């Protein structure tokens, strides 16, 4: 007897399990999606908070018990497998859709973006050759040109889709190395993302030079001294949205120094770059368009499922060093006949059509809708900072620049603060980050959930206040 669509036989005999694509794919997916959605709902209810209680050992034991034999002799069928594993994943998630899950630059994805991502998975185009992704490659090309034009007022601005800031930063350093050779020196502030010095190491460059940032941002005076003392080609990397406090380097002044000394400028705007879409906040990014390359992440202030990054450049000719030829993917005669050459759009070969979820979100919300989300989350951070600053039990580090708020209980030392954070994690009550600033340890709340309410912030403060009084 043939199993109905979507059930799976689990035996390896009879009719092969249904596929996600093709004319019959949607019918096979529909009942499976219902099972997934039910499991997501039930798992979230069982979790009952921003993350599971019990800590790593307890969670590993729960997963081990649910998973059982990872490769059983006989399958359990599609619905049972989905119910079990999706439920286990949801019950054991650190869920950024919970207002008390606010540790990292880890956004809750929009439903429309996740739905578009399902279509991408079902159709499974791979953007390493046009004959694997005819429509997806066109979507990506149009999207990257449109987004690059948001940052550069140049006729041939373009961007590459990346897995995030780390890959984009590595590509930026690679392109700079190809422009200037292996004698390139990379200068960055101590506030820079860890992927900058790591990329220099991966690319065989001399160790990147780190400049102190005692105020949290790159000091133009220190940079001027470093540039004057650095012979040969130089790449300066600045940051628009640091991971510890969301601070933005003085971009215009840094760009002036780079022009004066003949240095290239790369700006890591993975966190703050999309402020450019908000009329209220784009002035914070003054000077952004002067960079030779930009890192932008849409799985931060763009509310996309991971992964959704960009490397933007003012002229697509700057991407020429990435050109690569593999006859089975971009044969010369095919390219000459007009088939798009996609291999030079990434260092990866097989890659997903992440542009689809981004393009769907942009079409759904429009410029004004995205601006409202950005403004809303920035407002939330300001509101939390005001509450903490007025509370005698907490010390606020400074007013937030983007959506990151640093604070600490007034009467806790660094060891007590670290213990408090781990206790909240172990109990499944809140997910907060930590960072050092001004020689002390601070709690970090990164607000990226536009559904957070004033009541949620009151709950967080009450939870922390109660925990410090135990």
CA dist 140 and 135 (Å) reads 9
User: Given this model, what pLDDT does residue 183 score?
Assistant: 96
User: Given this model, what pLDDT does residue 153 score?
Assistant: 96
CA dist 183 and 251 (Å) reads 25
User: Given this model, what pLDDT does residue 466 score?
Assistant: 82
pTM of the complete model: 0.95
**Phi, psi of 114, deg, nearest 5:** -65, -35
Per residue, what are the HEC states of the chain?
CCCCCCCCCCCCCCCCCCCCCCCCHHHHHHHHHHHHHHHHHHHHHHHCCCCCCCHHHHHHHHHHHHHCCCCCCCCCCHHHHHHHHHHHHHHCCCCCCCCCECCCCCCCCCHHHHHHHHHHHHHCCCCCCHHHCHHHHHHHHHHHHHHHHHHCCCCECEEEEECCHHHHHHHHHHHHHHHHCCCCEEEEECCCCCHHHHHHHHCCCCCCEEECCCCCCCCHHHHHHHHHCCCCCEEEEEEECCCCCCCECCHHHHHHHHHHHCCEEEEEECCCHHHHHCCCCHHHHCCHHHCCEEEEECCCCCCCCCCCEEEEECEHHHHHHHCCCCHHHHCHHHHHCCCCCCHHHCCCCCCCCHHHHHHHHHHHHHHHHHHHHHHHHHHHHHHHHHHHHHCCCEEECCCCCCCEEEEEECCCCHHHHHHHHHHHHHHCCCECEEEEECCEEEEEEECCCCCCCHHHHHHHHHHHHHHHCC
Mean pLDDT per 10-residue interval, the chain, length 470 residues: 45 81 96 98 97 96 96 96 98 97 96 98 97 98 98 97 98 98 97 98 97 97 97 97 97 98 98 98 98 98 97 98 96 96 96 98 98 98 97 97 98 96 96 96 98 96 80
């Amino acid at each position: 007897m043939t199993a109905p669509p979507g059930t799976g036989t689990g035996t390896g005999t009879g009719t092969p399990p249904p596929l996600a694509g093709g004319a019959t794919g949607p019918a096979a997916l529909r009942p499976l999606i219902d099972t997934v959605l039910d499991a997501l709902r039930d798992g979230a209810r069982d979790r009952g908070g921003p993350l599971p209680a019990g800590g790593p050992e307890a969670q590993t034991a729960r997963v081990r018990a649910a998973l059982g034999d990872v490769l059983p002799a006989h399958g359990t069928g599609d619905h049972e497998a989905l119910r079990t594993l999706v439920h286990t994943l949801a019950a054991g998630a650190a869920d950024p859709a919970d207002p008390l899950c606010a540790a990292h630059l880890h956004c809750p994805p929009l439903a429309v973006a996740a739905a578009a991502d399902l279509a991408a998975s079902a159709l499974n185009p791979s953007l390493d050759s046009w004959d694997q992704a005819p429509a997806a490659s066109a979507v990506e090309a149009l999207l990257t040109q449109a987004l690059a034009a948001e940052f550069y007022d140049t006729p041939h601005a373009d961007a590459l889709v990346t897995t995030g800031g780390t890959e984009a930063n590595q590509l930026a350093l690679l392109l700079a190395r190809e422009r200037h050779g292996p004698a390139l020196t990379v200068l960055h502030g101590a506030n820079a993302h860890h992927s900058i010095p790591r990329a220099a190491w991966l690319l065989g460059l001399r160790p990147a030079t780190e400049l102190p940032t005692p105020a949290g941002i790159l000091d133009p005076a220190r940079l001027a001294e470093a540039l004057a003392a650095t012979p040969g080609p130089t790449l300066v990397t600045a940051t628009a949205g640091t991971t510890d406090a969301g601070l933005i380097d003085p971009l215009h002044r840094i760009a002036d120094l780079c022009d004066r000394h003949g240095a290239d400028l790369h700006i890591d705007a993975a966190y703050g770059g999309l402020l450019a879409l908000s009329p209220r906040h784009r002035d914070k990014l003054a000077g952004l368009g002067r960079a030779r390359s930009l890192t932008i992440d849409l799985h931060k202030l763009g509310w996309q499922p991971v992964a959704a990054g960009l490397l933007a450049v003012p002229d697509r000719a700057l991407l020429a060093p990435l050109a690569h030829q593999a006859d089975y993917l971009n044969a010369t005669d095919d390219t000459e006949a007009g088939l798009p050459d996609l291999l030079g759009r990434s260092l990866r070969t097989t890659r997903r059509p992440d542009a689809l979820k981004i393009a769907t979100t942009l079409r759904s919300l429009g410029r004004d809708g995205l601006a409202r989300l950005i403004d809303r989350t920035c407002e939330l951070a300001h509101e939390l900072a005001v509450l903490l600053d007025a509370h005698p039990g907490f010390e606020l580090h400074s007013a937030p620049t983007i959506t990151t708020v640093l604070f600490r209980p007034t009467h806790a030392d660094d060891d007590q603060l670290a213990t408090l954070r781990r206790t909240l994690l172990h109990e499944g009550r809140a997910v907060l980050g930590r960072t050092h600033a001004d020689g002390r340890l601070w709690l970090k709340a990164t607000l990226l959930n536009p559904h957070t309410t004033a009541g949620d912030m009151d709950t967080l403060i009450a939870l922390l206040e109660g925990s410090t009084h135990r």
